[in-house]
Structure formats: structure tokens, C-alpha cells
Amino acid sequence: MRRRVIAGNWKMYKTQAETRAFFAAFAPLVAHSAHCDIVVAPPFTALAAAVDAARGTAVGIAAQNVFWEKEGAYTGELSAGMLAEAGCRYVLIGHSERRQYFGETEESVAKKTRAALAAGLTPIVCVGELLADREAGKTEEVLGRQFRGGPGSLTAEEFSRILVAYEPVWAIGTGRTATPEIAAAAHGFLRKCAAGQFSAAAASALRILYGGSVKPDNIKGLMAQDELDGALVGGASLDAKSFAAIVNF
Ligand code: PEP
């Protein structure tokens, strides 16, 4: 049985003070939630506050992005080593908003994933199709391409240390969740890609999170699917009570 992961992506929300207030409310609500790994991804400026507030809890802190070089003249970027030193244990890579607004490609996803792994971080590699892809019957073609260019380009050892998040772009921030069956079919396809590229054992060990308008009232139905190994939650992770209700589904 794969251990579940519930991760919150705060995107560009929350100051340091708001981060401290969130953890003061959230930590007691998940103090006994040992059934899954819990992750919170604050913006860079709130990472130190989050690491500090999460100390002594089971909550792991994630960055929302990383650059692949170790150091250098790359104004505005942060290396994986810097994030690890700051107390991060995870990093989101290739979120659809980064692909859409910041030119993230399969190649940059692969480079960032390798750099994160080399620094001891657990990458959460995001993939997902656009509504137009799904409507054109191209979901598997897109997921296959994203898988091959990103996670599929790793070594088997590297692959064993990543998490994948399936996030259909049409379900992110729209209130339109994929049905549990649609999500499970996509996860099954990604697992098939992993089996083809690596091995049946690697595929069955891979943890795949679902993301896209996950809320307290739909998490149970989603987690009823064996294929879904957790959730990556945007909007509903900003409120301590709502995110705790998702963690404690
Ligand atoms: C996300 O940002 O990864 C996400 C899934 O957002 P939301 O839950 O708001 O759709």
C-alpha cells in the first residue's frame, strides 16, 4: 500500500505573518494525522516562517519552484541546495501555471528535477492536459509526452525518489474537479508509462497525487480510488480548517 501525500500549494498567497497564523491554527488539527505525509508549499518569502512554524510537527515544507544550476549569475533564481538549506524537503516542479506563464518546458522540468534530487529534495513533478487536449482526445498523447520528457528521462534510482502530480489544467482553480474515475484513468495511464519506461515494480511504487479543485467535500470520493495516492490542493489549502479537513478525509 502506497503511503498517501496531501500537499498544499499556496501559490502567490500569504505573508510571513499569515503563514505563522496558518500554522498556529493548522498544526493542532493535524497533530494526530499519521495516515499520510503532509506538505505545505508557501511562497519563497514565507519559507523560513513556515519551516520555523512547522518544526516539531509532521508537516514538510515545499518550495514552488527551483533553478537547476548550483549557483551563478542567474538573477532572481534559487538553487536546490539553497532551498534544502532553508529547510525545504520538497519542491513543486512544472506546475501548469509555470508552464503557462513562465515558459516551463519538458527539458526544464527534467533539469530541475535532477537538480532537486541531487540536493536531497523530493520533487513533486506536475503534469496535466489542457481542456482543448482532452476535448480533442489527446489526453494520453499529452501526458505521455510530459512523462517521457520529465520523469521518464530520469534514471531508475532518481525515478524512485519523485512524486508525480496529475493536474488536469481545466480543473485547476476552476471549481471543476475531475471525477474520481477520470482521475483514476489518467493515473493508470501514467503508471503504465512508468512500467514501460522503468519496471512494473517502479510503477507500482510511484505515488501519484491528483490536483484540481480538491475540496473538503470531494476528497473522500477521490481518495476512494486506489490509483490516487493523495492530493495537491491549491485554493482549499489556504484555510487551516479546510486544509485540515482534506488531510483528515
Ligand atoms: C494547484 O494549484 O495545484 C491546484 C490544484 O489548485 P486548485 O486546488 O485551486 O484547483
Place of cell 525518489: 161
96 ligand 1 Cβ < 6 A = no
Position 213, amino acid: S
pLDDT of residue 103: 96
Q: Residue range 151-180: average pLDDT?
A: 95
pLDDT of residue 106: 96
Q: Residue range 150-162: average pLDDT?
A: 98
What does DSSP say about strands 122-127 and 4-9: parallel, antiparallel, or unpaired? unpaired
pLDDT of residue 214: 97
How far does the centroid of ligand 1 lie from the alpha carbon of residue 237, in Å?
9
9 ligand 1 Cβ < 6 A = yes
Ligand 1 nearest-atom number relative to CA 11 = 2
pLDDT band of residue 177 (cuts 50, 70, 90) is: confident
CA pair distance 26, 15, nearest whole angstrom = 16
The CATH number given to whatever domain includes residue 102 is 3.20.20.70
Compute the mean pLDDT over every residue in the chain, rounded to the nearest whole number: 97
- Is residue 78 over pLDDT 90? yes
pTM comes to 0.97
CA pair distance 141, 121, nearest whole angstrom = 29
Instruction: Give the CA distances from residue 53 to residues 11, 18, 125, in Å, rounded to whole numbers and listed in that order.
Output: 18, 11, 25
The answer to whether the beta carbons of residues 161 and 114 sit under 8 Å apart is: no
Q: What tens digit of pLDDT does each residue of 115-152 get?
A: 999 999 999 999 999 999 999 999 999 999 999 999 99
How far does the centroid of ligand 1 lie from the alpha carbon of residue 72, in Å?
32
- Is residue 1 over pLDDT 90? no
Q: Residue range 155-172: average pLDDT?
A: 97
The residue whose CA has the least distance to atom 2 of ligand 1 is: 234
Domains of the chain: total: 1
pLDDT of residue 225: 96
For residue 134, which of 122, 143, 145, 121 has the smallest C-alpha distance? Answer: 143
Q: Residue range 182-193: average pLDDT?
A: 98
What is the domain range of residue 12?
4-247
Q: Residue range 112-117: average pLDDT?
A: 98
